[in-house]
Structure 1
Amino acid sequence: MDHEAGAIEDAAFVLAMRGHGVRDTAVLRAMERVPRERFAPERHRHLARRDIALPLACGQTMTAPTAIAAMLTALSVQPGARVLEIGTGSGYVTALLVNLGAAHVRSIERYASLGRDARERLEADGLDEAVVEIGDGLAHRPGDGPFDRILVSGICPALPAHLAESLAPGGRLVTAVGRPEAGRLLRVERGPDGALVHRVGTGLRIAPLTPGRAAMV
């Protein structure tokens, strides 16, 4: 694909996202700059600009763009932010976080093969702000905290307490809670006094996040 054709497809993708209700300008610009097909499995790259989830290795999925946009809009990444991401997957959202201005993204993936592949893509794109770690982000308190923003890229039955505790004052955490067929967006904010405020938002279709470090490599 030549540069002009790619630019046209990028613009069409952003217009499609607007048509699906995405209004956050920063998120739209990041999605225009980061080609989703770069992170999609080769056999599904022709579907990367559609608003659908795509299958990944290890039985995982690449979340649909509108669901990603909803979470990133709620997260509201500010320039220079330190971000923790639970669930690296393909690395697509990690790249979006960097493009939104994060100065450091620590991303934790339970599947070693997914984590390695995502790390290679991010390094190839020169996104040195992102560090991919293999482990169970739902069970252990992450180092390098506190974090200004935390994104949990999947539905949890309930939010692990240690994640909210890793928020810096003024920080924000976004995830989805509930059952896979009835998940809802959850935003947790830590006030200057340290108090946590939970806000449950709209419905969100996203795959569940499985606890534990995977035995599968």
Structure 2
Amino acid sequence: MAGPDDAAGLSRAIGSAAFVLALRERGVRDTAVLRAMEQVPREHFAPAPLREHARRDIALPLPQGQTMTAPSVAAAMLGALDMRPGVRVLEIGTGSGYVTALLVRLGAGHVRSLERYPGLARAARERLGVNLNDATVEAADGLGPDSAERHSFDRILVNGGVAALPPHLPAALKPGGRLVMGLWSGRGCRLVTIARDGEAPPARLEGPALRLGPMTPGRGRVS
């Protein structure tokens, strides 16, 4: 006879399967991303009063006016990032830490995640727990020129939309690297991928429209 723990585990498994199926129906096709989203429980990273909505494809509000990106949007960005095992990742905009955990699950060798609000950074570190063996979460201005100073990365992910591409970010890409972000224009916010092939100038690829909140430069004044 199954006990309460078995029933809870079965319920979580059914919920995860339904969550992934819903994402497939919304056009998410990257199997590695879908597998990571099945394995990393979004409700663990959602604010407690909103956990019942964590498996819906909607953005969720976070403290300091920030948002937890809708799963289909996060999936589109992670798919464009084209993760490979062992890559070194710079993530700008930690938020809840959910996408950080997905990057780790997708095989990142290390994730350096920058969050402008110290309170959000602390909460994300607590949620990530043992995953911090593969990630560091820092309170810092991710859009400032110091964010990638003296560092280079295989992948850079900006979890939000910006009005202009900060020039220091493509410069921090290693040969073969990719930068994924939302870029605002008169047509709204669109997915943009910057791909660096060897020593050639980075190529810019424009993708679909995304529902992304704006990224704000500078350190947050509220802890």
Give CA-to-partner distance per residue, 1:178-212, whole Å, 9 cap, x none.
15981000000111124211111111111000100
Moved more, 42-51 or 143-152: 143-152
- Partners of 1:46 and 1:180 in 2: CA distance: 35
Alignment partner, residue 98 of structure 2: 92
Give RMSD over aligned pairs. Answer: 1.4
Corresponding position of 2:31: 25
Identity among equivalent pairs (%): 57
Instruction: Count the aligned residue pairs.
Output: 216
Query: Given the alignment of the two structures, is residue 164 of structure 1 paired with residue 170 of structure 2, yes or no?
Result: yes
Partner letter of residue 132 of structure 1? V
Q: Give the TM-score of the pair, scaled to structure 2.
A: 0.94
Q: Which residue of 1 aligns with 2:133?
A: 128
Aligned partner of 1:82 among 82, 88, 91: 88
2:101/2:131 contact within 8 Å kept: no
Deviations 1:32-74 (A, max 9, x none): 0000000000000000000000000011000000000000000
Larger Rg: 2
How far did residue 120 of structure 1 move?
1.1
Q: Which moved more, 1:60-69 or 1:181-190?
A: 181-190
Q: Does 1:155 align with 2:161?
A: yes
Per the normalisation by structure 1, the TM-score is 0.96
Partners in 1 of 2:94 and 2:186 — Cα distance? Answer: 19
Cα offset, 1:126, TM superposition: 3.6
Taking structure 1 as reference, are residues 180 and 75 closer, same or farther at Cα in structure 2, changes over 3 Å only?
farther
Structure 1 runs (4+) deviating above 6 angstroms are none
1:204 lines up with 2:207 in the alignment: no
Do 1:71 and 1:174's aligned partners in 2 also have CA atoms closer than 8 Å? Answer: yes
1:168-187 alignment, distance < 5 Å: 168-179=174-185, 182-187=188-193
- SS of 2:145's equivalent in the other structure is coil
Unaligned runs of 5+ in 1: none
**Structure 2: tracts of 5 or more residues without a match:** 1-6
